[in-house]
Amino acid sequence: MPVHVVWEITLACNLKCGHCGSRAGKRRANELSTLECLDVVRQLAAAGTREITLIGGEAYLRRDWLEIAAEIARLGMHCGLQTGARGLTRERIEAAYAAGVRAIGVSVDGLRDLHDRLRGVPGSHDQAIRAIRDISDVGIEPGVNTQINALSMPQLPLIFDEITAAGAKYWQVQLTVAMGNAVDNSAMLLQPHQIIDVVDNLAELYHRGRDIGFRVLPGNSIGYFGRHEPHWRSLSSEITHWEGCTAGETTLGLEADGTIKSCPSLPKSHYAGGESRSVSIDEALRNLSHRTVRRDGNRGRSFCGSCYYWNTCRGGCTWVSHVLESRRGDNPYCYYRATTLARRGLREKIVKVADAPDEPFAVGRFKVRLERADGSIAPRSIGLDDKRRKRGRLILCPSCDEYMSSAERQCPHCGAAKDTKPAVDETLQRAVQMSIDEMERHGRRILEIAGLPGAETSSPE
């Protein structure tokens, strides 16, 4: 069931981002007509879709975008918008609210100078921050989406301060992935071993955010497991872990020309199930069903192929791994992998070996190199996981913050026996605290909506 759909309704864009994976700018020659879009909306509703996020390019550059949004809302689906916000005026935001748009994520990729440089348009940072305030004033929940790369990584704490002050309620962070314009500008890409610093820093910001009712949401590209995993992967207070790529299972992407893909970020060369002008959404889903991570027979390569978590994870985000070597099942941007290798004095780097063609969602080619601390190349055979993979579901170790298989007697990470009783039940404490935080947040929101006093005074600040 395509529960979450991300829909590029036009490729037209008024920004010139140096990391744009779809190389947006001009509209596609054969974008769907209004009637064709409305038909797609009805098919998605019938297929069980609950949430559609409109993207571009810039979705609002399509004249009929509000008509499409209104039909999504009319059929009972949640309608969101992801935008760079350069031309997202107060009037457009009010019209979006009237049409039924209930979440808007604004891209902020750095403080003013860096953002304007990355987005290729002076003034675009100030417009994005202004839009966050307007979205909040109009009554839509404002979020922020930030790409993490070598340039923005040092600014993450400052971006956190800036967007919380502007009124953002959540922050989706994701890696700049080697696709489209980002391949041309590959010096900005993070090296895989830097994922350790990224995740450690983000986890700190996650806890800071939790204390003020602000959610830091690690995107699917931010990989996986390790000591922070039980804290931040769930959208609710339930403690959970990364469960693997859902492309073609519960996630679906649409391009403006009607191409139906298993995920909006993936190239159609490998992950398209047809075009809406010639196949129905149901047929496209059937065409994609044998290409999901759980059904494609991929056994993984290098560290991922040997990984303790393979049965659950299967190489993390398909997008991140596919863009490196044109196939999935080997993802070096993983916290568990990078920390395991670092303990042995090893790290991984990517090296570009081929550019990407000048077309939307184009991929280049990269080599993933295993190195020793002195920079010398190490053989792949010493860069595998040495923990034996077990069957069984994942449970949280009672002594450390790592996930282990329920089939283990001892935690493979800290050695504690599975039935060890923790001195202080930190897991329970965390769950209780998160529930309290959430109840307080809902309480404040209800008071805000009802216009009653107390919305501010009950804040944990």
Pairing relation of β-strands 365-372 and 346-354? antiparallel
**Is position 266 an interface residue for ligand SF4 (rule: CB under 6 A)?**
yes
65 or 336: whose CB is closer to ligand SF4?
336
Tokens for 339?
């920390």
Q: How far apart are CA 305 and CA 337, in angstroms?
A: 11
Q: Figure out which of the listed residues 263, 285, 362, 394 binds ligand SF4, where binding follows CB under 6 A.
A: 263
**Is position 246 an interface residue for ligand SF4 (rule: CB under 6 A)?**
yes
Q: Are 254 and 7 in contact (CB under 8 A)?
A: yes
162 or 229: whose CB is closer to ligand SF4?
229
For residues 51-110, which are near ligand SF4 according to CB under 6 A?
Answer: none
Q: Figure out which of the listed residues 206, 214, 336, 361 binds ligand SF4, where binding follows CB under 6 A.
A: 336
- Of 251, 282, 286, which is closest to residue 265 (Cα–Cα)? 251
Q: Which residues contact 432 (CB under 8 A, 6 or more apart)?
A: none
Least spacing, CB of residue 266 vs ligand SF4, in Å? 6
24 or 132: whose CB is closer to ligand SF4?
24
Residue 181 has, within 13 A of its CA and on its CB side, a CA count of 15
- Of 92, 3, 114, which is closest to residue 51 (Cα–Cα)? 3
Residue 417 has, within 13 A of its CA and on its CB side, a CA count of 3
Q: Figure out which of the listed residues 225, 232, 361, 366 binds ligand SF4, where binding follows CB under 6 A.
A: 225
Least spacing, CB of residue 213 vs ligand SF4, in Å? 26
**Is position 331 an interface residue for ligand SF4 (rule: CB under 6 A)?**
yes
Look at the alpha carbons of 166, 169, 175, 180 in this order and tell me if their dihedral is positive or negative. Answer: negative
From residue 304 to residue 323, what is the string marking binding to ligand SF4 with x (rule CB under 6 A)? x--x-xx--x-xxxxx----
**Is position 334 an interface residue for ligand SF4 (rule: CB under 6 A)?**
yes
Contact range with ligand SF4 by CB under 6 A, out of 114-122, 197-205, 332-340, 403-411: 332-340
Contact range with ligand SF4 by CB under 6 A, out of 13-21, 83-91, 223-231, 345-353: 223-231
Three-state DSSP state, 287: helix
Contact range with ligand SF4 by CB under 6 A, out of 11-19, 194-202, 204-212, 334-342: 334-342
Q: Figure out which of the listed residues 146, 147, 164, 265 binds ligand SF4, where binding follows CB under 6 A.
A: 265
Contacting residues toward ligand SF4, per CB under 6 A: 220, 223-225, 245-247, 251, 263, 265-266, 303-304, 307, 309-310, 313, 315-319, 331, 334, 336-337
